[in-house]
Structure 1
Amino acid sequence: MIKKFEALLKRKEVQQFINYYIFTILSALIGFYSIPYLTSHISPEDYGMIGIFLGIVFFMPPLLSFSATNLQAISIVDLSQEEYKKFRNDYISFIISLFAIVLVLALLSPFIMPRYSFIIIAAVIYGFLQLLSTVHSTELIQHGKPTMFGILNFLSIFLAFIITVLFISGFNQGWHSRIISLILTEALLVIVRFLFLSKIGKEFKFSVSKVEFRALARFGWPLMISVVAGWIINQSDRFILLHFYSLKEVGIYAAAYGISSIIVTFNQTMLKVVAPLVYRKLNKRIGRNFVIKLNLLYALVIFSIAALASVTIHYCWHLLLGTRYEASLPVIYILCFAQAFFGVYMTLGIVVDYFKYNKLKTIVIWICAIVSLTTSFLLIPTLKIYAPAVGTLFAFFTLSVITYFNGRKILNVNNVM
């Protein structure tokens, strides 16, 4: 038994998994602490503005890349080194072109929605910087460099928190400073990533390739439609609350979402660990049993984590949130399990992404978006601010179930052994 355990620890995939999760835990601790820091220094109304900002940011990277981020990972696996470099240059040029268009539109927001103009412009800039970071992160993940990926991910959270504390506690700045801190941190790390940690910056030449731009657009347009549905499921809840209530309720909900995002962190780390391995197996048309077992095993793990997180928060909430945010507790519990269902979906979603069943993915996500919206609006009269969280839970449950059956079907159709 001991020898088997030692052999397991020596496997590259296990070592990568451990590396990813060490940094995930460190990052989660900093991210986790930043929420009680913010809730103790700013009002729910101000936190509501940050929540609106994050709701817009969610949509920015898919919009500015036309949802072609998965194509980069697939291209690393399928293309030669020189072919990939050309693809990367065209891909970054595509992102810059879309950013320029969207930024011009955002600069018109002071004339249309002056109260939210700062949030809109900042969200576009921050989403653009996040997307550039993702280009480098995807290469680190696909090339099996979890330590560097973990360090950079940790630094992005740590530096943003330090700058936030400096602005708020040192210079008595308000909620705006949290957003500025995020932008400054991401801008600094993009420079480090592109110029010092990789050759992306040195090898980049802006080019407008009509052929490649069309290919990116063809790949992404079905996913863009699904991104709208994904935004409805993940982010429309705070806008629904803003419609029926006020920024105070949005702030309470956003704080709860931030706490429950610890489950999101585990999901994202799991995907980064297993996606490259699954892609390589699917490329050889093997790995059917591996994917199915992964789905079951991760379900057991992530639901256990969600349960443990909910119990811990139930008894320690006063250490994490001020009394002004006590109403967020039920939302935290519901969203923890909602994100657990999303994690289960992601394990078979890898299969859907690799074989490019984008239209199927779009249909499924829209079904779940309709479930989310319908549930939220029907339950608001009785559950009030908790209704959108229940809607998200139902949507992610539906998503995981439908994807489970479709994922297995796709493995059969493509003769994956």
Structure 2
Amino acid sequence: MSFLIKHRSFISYLSFSVATSALGFLASLLMMRLMSPDEYGRIALFMSLLFVVAPMISFAADNLVAINRAKLGKVEYEQFTRSFVTFSYLMFLVVQLVFFMLFILGVLHDRLFLLTPIYGLVQVLIGMASIEYVMDGKSIQFGMVAFSTSLASLLLTLLFLNSISGVADWRIAALLIANIIFLFFRYRGNTELLWTFSIDKSVFKDVVLFGFPLLLSVAPAWALNESDKIIVAKYVDMASVGYYAAASAIGGIMITFNTAMLNAMVPQIYQALGDNPEEMMPIVRRHVKKFMGTSAVFCCLFALVYGLSADLILPEKYAAARQIVFVVILFSLGRGLYSVLGLVTDYYGLTRAKLKGIIYGGIVTVGIATIGVMQFGIIGAAVGVGTGYLVLSLTLWFYLVKKSQQYCVARALDNSI
């Protein structure tokens, strides 16, 4: 009982995260049955664009909200949030105008992509409210709203796809409607923030200075995480994007498991590093072995269960995705390795090393995925992402070893004095 009380916040976040992820997985299974691979592929490309658009609208300065929430007084923070929301609205107008121009010029061929900026704006506003929930310790409210949003979007998706049409537009519409409805729940009692405009030049300057370096990292991060879908669309076809997205959705269970396990390990890793800084690399090795060993066991069990039920999970029209799932599951181990090493690099503030790793990983992902897709089909995309994360992990390992050696030298000098 004392454990539950002590870790109540963590348990709340973990429980709601698993439940919300389960709804997302259920929605994916539903869409595979009600939508053609081409339409499912359109959704995947939409989300790939959103990966870039949302940070453009917030200027990648979302974490500035959390910093100022902790640092500023009530009046100053309210002034900041009003100006930050206004800044986001202005960026939305710019991005939306660019998207209209690209659509008119024929660069964007799908009208669905015109909804990406408004979806990105909603995501920014939701993210800001979520940060406040977290900073205020409202884990139950945070989880309930996130779960309710996912449940509403699932029900609306089922309604729209069954009663109107099985096209991607209705899935995006369902997501938008659900997010907008619960956006007002998130800002209950403070909805005037959404339409009270304020232009504070000092806030605008802070947002630009804080976000610009982070905005530069969006491109390599997109290359690492999302370029695979664009490459499949370019060199194969939209149906293959749907197959690949379906395989990624199934294999995404590994990411959910790794995330839950990582959350449980965070306090242990940080406490160990704080108590024994001179033992940095042994601590890293120990936790990497623990994490990767557990992840590998789950990977094998998951692959076994999936292998026995693949025909039930993926309908016949997605049969081309069935074998790809095994590759996605296998290469998710590289992403898991990065998760642990990324925690340690964050602890030591090695942001430049992390950025270099993301850049190297993004370049490798694009290169191998392009060659792989051209030579072997969509399986090459999964190999590209997995290899990219492996390169990122090796880069972080190199810099952590370097950091450890520098610490040992400094300690030896201190002892000699």
| TM-score bracket for the superposition, by shorter chain length | 0.7 to 0.9
Q: Encode CA deviations 1:244-281: one digit per residue, 9 max, x unaligned.
A: 11111111011112222333444556677888x79x98
| Counterpart AA for 2:129 | H
Are positions 1:230 and 2:230 aligned together? no
Question: Where do residues 1-400 of structure 1 align in structure 2 (5 Å cutoff)?
Answer: 7-12=2-7, 15-79=8-72, 83-113=76-106, 116-196=109-189, 199=190, 201-202=192-193, 205-266=196-257, 292=284, 297-350=290-343, 352=345, 358-400=351-393
Decide which structure has the larger Cα Rg and report it: 2
Residue type of the alignment partner of 2:6:
R
The alpha-carbon deviation at position 185 of structure 1 amounts to 0.8
Partner AA of 2:220 in structure 1 = A
The answer to whether the 8 Å contact 2:236/2:377 transfers is no
- Shift, 1:322, TM fit: 0.8
Structure 1's unaligned 5+ residue stretches are 1-5
Aligned equivalents of 1:369 and 1:204: distance in 2?
Answer: 38
Structure 1 contact 263–339 (Cα < 8 Å) conserved: yes
Q: CA offsets per residue over residues 62-114 of structure 1, 9 Å max, x none?
A: 12122222333344445555554444333323222211211122223441238
Structure 1 Cα separation of the partners of residues 262 and 132 of structure 2: 14
SS in structure 1 at match of 2:127: helix
Q: Amino acid of the residue matched to residue 378 of structure 2?
A: I
- CA-CA distance at 1:371 after TM superposition: 1.1
Cα shift at 1:317: 1.5
Amino acid of the structure 2 residue aligned with 1:333: F
Q: What one-letter code is carried by the residue in structure 2 that aligns with 1:142?
A: M
SS of 2:137's equivalent in the other structure is coil
Q: CA RMSD in A?
A: 3.5
Query: How many Å apart are 1:294 and its aligned residue?
Result: 6.0
The 10-residue stretch of structure 1 (124-133 or 81-90) with the greater mean CA deviation from structure 2: 81-90
Change (3 A) 1:299 1:151: farther
- More deviation in 233-242 or 104-113? 104-113
User: Which deviations, in whole Å up to 9, do the C-alpha atoms of 1:7-54 show, x marking residues without a partner?
Assistant: 544423xx3332223222322322222222211122111212112111
Measure, in 2, the Cα distance between the counterparts of 1:193 and 1:59. 24
Q: Is 1:141–1:272's contact at 8 Å kept on the other side of the alignment?
A: no
**Contact 2:341 2:397 (8 Å CA) reproduced:** yes
Distance verdict in 2 for CA 1:166–1:201, change over 3 Å = same
1:402 aligns with 2:395: yes
Structure 1 stretch displaced more, 302-311 or 381-390: 302-311
* 8 Å Cα contact 1:141-1:273 kept in structure 2: no
Q: Are 1:232 and 1:373, in contact at CA under 8 Å, matched by a contact in 2?
A: yes
Contact 1:16 1:273 in 2 (8 A): no
Counterparts in 2 of 1:140 and 1:299: CA distance versus 1, 3 Å: farther
Indicate how the Cα distance of structure 1 residues 73 and 295 shifts in structure 2: closer, same or farther if over 3 A, else same: farther
| CA 1:355–1:67: 2 relative to 1, 3 Å | farther
In terms of mean alpha carbon deviation, does 203-212 or 148-157 score higher? 203-212
2:412 aligns to what?
none
Code of the residue aligned with 1:208 in structure 2: it is I
- Superposed CA deviations along residues 189-221 of structure 1, whole A, max 9, x for unmatched, are 11111125xx47559843223333233222322
Query: What is the aligned residue count?
Result: 405
Partners of 1:329 and 1:407 in 2: CA distance: 38
Q: CA deviation at 1:313?
A: 1.8
Query: Given the two structures, how large is their TM-score scaled by the length of structure 2?
Result: 0.83
For 2:122 and 2:275, the matched residues in 1 are separated by 36
Residues 1:207 and 1:343: Cα distance change in structure 2 (over 3 Å): farther
On the 8 A contact 1:195/1:202 being kept in 2, the answer is no
Whole-Å Cα distance in 2 between the matches of residues 200 and 294 of structure 1? Answer: 44
Query: Do the aligned partners of residues 369 and 107 (structure 1) sit closer, same or farther apart at CA in structure 2, a change above 3 Å counting?
Result: same
Instruction: Give the residue type in structure 2 aligned to 1:242.
Output: A
Letter in 2 for 1:365: I
Residues 326 and 360 of structure 1, relative CA distance in 2, 3 Å threshold: same
How far 1:402 sits from its partner (Å)? 2.2
Deviations 1:144-202 (A, max 9, x none): 33222222221122111100111111234522111111111111111111125xx4755
CA distance in 1 between partners of 2:61 and 2:341 (Å): 19
Q: Is the 8 A contact 2:54 2:124 kept in 1?
A: yes
Check the 8 A contact 1:375/1:390 in 2, yes or no: yes
Q: Which moved more, 1:216-225 or 1:405-414?
A: 405-414
2:52–2:218 contact (8 Å) kept in structure 1: yes
Instruction: Name which of structure 1's ranges 380-389 and 95-104 shifts more when overlaid on structure 2.
Output: 380-389
Unmatched runs of 5 consecutive residues or more in structure 2: 409-417
Decide whether aligned partners of structure 1 residues 206 and 322 sit closer, same or farther in structure 2, where only a CA change above 3 A counts.
Answer: same
TM-score (ref. length: structure 1)? 0.83
Match of 1:161, as an amino acid?
A: L
Contact 2:314 2:322 in 1 (8 A): no
Tell me the alpha carbon deviations over residues 289-314 of structure 1, each in whole angstroms, 9 at most, x when there is no partner: 89847666544444444443332222
337-346 or 89-98, which deviates more: 337-346
Distance, in Å, in 1 between the alignment partners of 2:157 and 2:187 is 25
